[in-house]
A and B are shown apart, each in its own frame.
Chain A
Amino acid sequence: MNDSLLTYLPLMAKAAGTSIWLSWLGLLLGIVVGAGIALLRRSQIVPLRWLALIYTEFWRSIPILIVMFFAYYGAPLLLGFDLSPFTAATLALALHASASMAEIIRAALASVGRGQWEAAQAAGMSGWQVMRYVAAPQALRVALPPSIGVFITTLKESSLASVIGYIELTKTGLLVRDATGGGLAPLLALGAFYFLLNYAISLAGLAAERRFHVGRRQDLVGAMT
């Protein structure tokens, strides 16, 4: 590692912050949408259940890269106004994360036994109250470890925002590589940044697992990117 690369490391650390912010935002939106889809999957109305299933299967079966391309180049054609690379990337990450989160939340809700719902209802709780005080707290324990896996996946996927011109960690790494005259070192530094971030998140996840005494980190389909 040469001197000039060292001088750029603070810049990369700042860009790492940008990447985390982008993926955090994508994850949060993904959780909100995913929770909605998970509720649809439990709906009494069959077509709604089908729609929710098609939604999850669709986003889980197409690569994040083409979602990114579409959000940036295609969506403006439909909307009639341009999206900034940041908005497009957040949208793409959120859509992809929402499918995984829907599956996780659905499985977590399903892990709360029927008897719990019936007992709570028998005790006079309304549907919302059962969800709020009985089902959700238990489902949260189950959903936490795999959600950490989704966060890691989203952070890795956020590297693709560089392809549509958003200057996050990967793009910064490439720019630093140009500025320092090419070579392998800046790219290895870039990889090290991602590794340390994700490894830290995964260790935090392990601590949470131990705290809640539940499952393991699971990387769902699409996790590779």
Chain B
Amino acid sequence: MQYSFTLRTIYPYLGELQSAAWLTLSLSVLAIVLSIALGTVVAVMRRSPRRLLRFAGAAYVEVMRNTPLLVILYIVYFGGPSIGLRLRSYDAALIGLTLNAAGYMAEIIRAGLIAVPTGQFEAASSQGFTTMQSFRHVVFPQVFRTIYAPLGNQVIAVILASSLASVIAVDEVASWMETVGSTSFRFFETFVVAAVVYLVLCQAVNLARVLIGRMLFRTAAVR
């Protein structure tokens, strides 16, 4: 069978692609910010002196890391209404993505917290730092250094994972590829275009990570 690759056939759909790309971006950025916040809470729980909190934190991480995001999205979007939770598909996707990503973020942040010995905290308070000050000036800079590289990887993972929102009817890039592909029968072109969008997003994050890392840490070791 002859198939000629002609990008011109999908020109009419490029306007929709733009709004799709914005949806992918906004969904990813929101999910990243929210999951870092939730992940921090879970990471702190896992270091709590209370056993119950530690267990709850660990259980959360294990459940999220071992369950497919697709199933979590189905639970939030399709399962929500049966417990009285009716969500728009975008909100459901954001919640599912955030819950899932927080499991990974928690592990990254926990590793960062472990890397700072408690002695540092004690030394800072013996120097008259308040808890807030020792966190701000002593602990945080070191934690940030440790989590910087894995956090960058996770940001990329969230962008890629946001594609699953298309399955619950969010019109982002993957959904654009499927709809335009099946209306124009130009699956090869739409695949190439969608792949380029994700490639550009991911490689831009990668590049930004390396450049900002160089600026912040002034060393090749952490990149």
Contacts and interface: CB of A to CB of B under 8 A. Distances in A.
B199 A195 contact: no
Interface string A58-99: 101111111001100110011010000000000000000000
A173 B71 contact: yes
How many residues of A sit at the interface, in one of the four size bands?
35 or more
A65 B174 contact: yes
Interface in B131-171: 153-154, 156-158, 160-161, 163-164, 166-167
A225 B62 contact: no
A174 B67 CA distance: 16
Contact of A152 (B3, B66, B166): B66
How many residues of B sit at the interface, in one of the four size bands?
35 or more
A168 B159 CA distance: 26
A78 B68 contact: no
Interface in B53-79: 62-63, 65-72, 74-75, 78-79
B1 interface: yes
A222 interface: yes
A170 interface: yes
Interface stretch (B9-17, B187-195, B214-222): B187-195
Contact of B164 (A177, A188, A219, A225): A225
Contacts of A188: 75, 79
Given A159-B71, A170-B70, A195-B67, A184 B167 contact: no
A104 B163 CA distance: 25
Contact of B78 (A73, A187, A222): A187
A151 to B, nearest CB: 12
Contacts of B20: none
B177 interface: yes
Nearest to A59: B195
A156 B181 contact: no
A69 B178 CA distance: 7
Given A66-B173, A73-B187, A194-B71, 8 more contacts: A63-B198, A66-B194, A74-B191, A77-B3, A177-B78, A187-B74, A221-B156, A223-B157
Interface of A: 57-58, 60-66, 69-70, 73-74, 77-78, 80, 152, 156-157, 159-160, 162-163, 170, 173-174, 177, 182-184, 187-188, 190-191, 194-195, 198-199, 202, 219-225
